[in-house]
Structure 1
Amino acid sequence: MNVLPQSKHYNLTHYQQRYNWDCGLSCILMILSTTQREQFLNNFEAICKEEGFGSSTWTIDLCYLLQRYQVRHEYYTQTLGIDPNYTQHMYYSKIIDKDEKRVTRKFKDAKAHGLRVMQRTVDMDVIIKHLARNGPVILLTNASLLTCDICKRNALEKFGYAGHYVVLCGYDMDSKKLYYHNPEVQDGHICRCLSEAMDTARTAFGTDQDIIFIYEQQQSSDQ
């Protein structure tokens, strides 16, 4: 039985989101290589148009972007498509009409495009094992429940559901904490919180427990 290292950290280049809708794209930019990041930023509007999402991204859109840049990944979700319960949800009701056709088509065509999309949920142990052995993780969270020891944010600052992507970049077994990049952060610091707190934010209603496991091409991490 392979014993996991007590701690792990991936050196990612922090990228702050520029708008109120591009947290997912900012997470992708943190995953890409320097050359890929420059190419994406230099052609940002054209790529958004080609991918068809405009200013509203779903996790499946992020997967197509990763595939565009040949980043090996797997996407796990509770719902293959759009949960019909979300049509009554204030956060989603405004965007579902606009996005439903695109999102449904992308899920349907995922396998033909070589994407690994699975209807499955995972627990925190699986996430830690992936961080230990394979690479970073992109999570959809409820920002209202997202905490950080450094930012000193707490759930009292926001109300209701606010979908927000972050990148897990490491963990520490002794402190039971996860390290993550939050695209909202201005100074580039790495956020940290108890793994239990992150689990609450990522499993909240509205997230579909969406998770993208990134598989590093090469070892660019340190213990």
Structure 2
Amino acid sequence: MSSENTSKQTGFPSSQESIDIQSSAENWEYTLHDVDHVQQRHNWDCGVACVMMLLSPQQREEFEANFYNICAEEGFHQSTWTVDLCYLLKRFDIKHTMYSTMLGVNEEYKKYSYYDNIFDLDRERVERRFAEAGSRGIRVRQGAVSSARLLLHLRRHGPAIALVDAGYLACDLCKRNKIKAELKRQFGGGYAGHYVLAVGVRGSRVLFRDPALSARLCAASAQALQRARAAPGTDLDVVLVHQGPGRELAALRAPATGGGGRQGRRGGCVVQ
């Protein structure tokens, strides 16, 4: 377990940074990290698809050509944990930091049917990868990244891979999963782990790409994303990607006017 103090564990922004975030939302700041959308191939590789979105075209071509060999070499085959994604990012020299409230396997999750067939099979690999992460140059930190901290990172530093309970996450633009998410919020339901790639912020909404869908940009309120991230089963896992030189960051600001301001250039959940 990490011995860091709470502020280091969580990476919470200072009070001034929180004020800056609120001010930015009121001014309809629009920040977007451009990535190429990748749709997952199977029902287990959503996290891998998120990693592939962050790669250069040459790296992605290499990965696609050797997809199953790379998965076998990494040892996760058809069961990926967040730490596995970190090793993949390291393999392709993508700078990042992982945050989680549990640096290892959370034994409490054995009761979830989602983990039934993989828990015991994956435990040794996952624990070993956490133990060896530091020596491999992979940064893992114990703690929860707050919603405010995530928004700040998306604006200033780069995208983020987030583990969510898919049942809680809906797109405000295309309305996908809207009714199901509302029903789950009110009545609960089983855990369904899923990774999405957060790529920007528009006002108080987080822009993200969902590898389960065809190429499009989705959006959800920061509160809704936080609910999906904080659901039991996730350990609030998130991988903050530190953008390298040359990757374009588009930041547009519309004036704060009546009626909610102007639409950004990607104001709808449409095929890009």
Q: 3-state DSSP class of the match of 2:53?
A: helix
**What is the CA distance between 1:209 and its match in structure 2?**
0.2
Partner of 2:236: 209
| Conserved? CA contact 1:86–1:93, under 8 Å | no
Partner of 2:34: 11
| Conserved? CA contact 1:163–1:206, under 8 Å | yes
Given the alignment of the two structures, is residue 170 of structure 1 paired with residue 197 of structure 2, yes or no?
no
Show structure 2 runs of 5+ residues with no match: 1-15, 252-272
Partner of 2:147: 124
Show structure 1 runs of 5+ residues with no match: none
Cα distance between partner residues in 2 of 1:151 and 1:46: 36
Q: 3-state DSSP class of the match of 1:94?
A: coil
Partner of 1:35: 58
Aligned residues: percent identity? 40
Give TM-score scaled by structure 1 length: 0.94
Q: What are the within-5 Å matches in structure 2 for residues 1-223 of structure 1?
A: 3=20, 6-152=29-175, 153-154=177-178, 155=181, 156=183, 159-173=189-203, 176-186=204-214, 188-218=215-245, 219-223=247-251
The count of corresponding residues between Structure 1 and Structure 2 is 220
RMSD, matched Cα: 1.5
Cα distance between partner residues in 2 of 1:74 and 1:83: 20
Structure with bigger gyration radius: 2
**What is the CA distance between 1:159 and its match in structure 2?**
4.0
Moved over 3 A (4+): 1-5, 156-159
1:35-80, Cα deviation, whole Å (9 max, x unpaired): 1111111111110110000100000000000000010000000101
Give TM-score scaled by structure 2 length: 0.78
Cα distance between partner residues in 2 of 1:178 and 1:46: 34
| Conserved? CA contact 2:112–2:191, under 8 Å | no
Cα distance between partner residues in 1 of 2:234 and 2:148: 19
Letter in 2 for 1:41: E
Cα distance between partner residues in 2 of 1:190 and 1:94: 33
**What is the CA distance between 1:194 and its match in structure 2?**
1.0
Partner of 2:259: none
**What is the CA distance between 1:221 and its match in structure 2?**
1.2
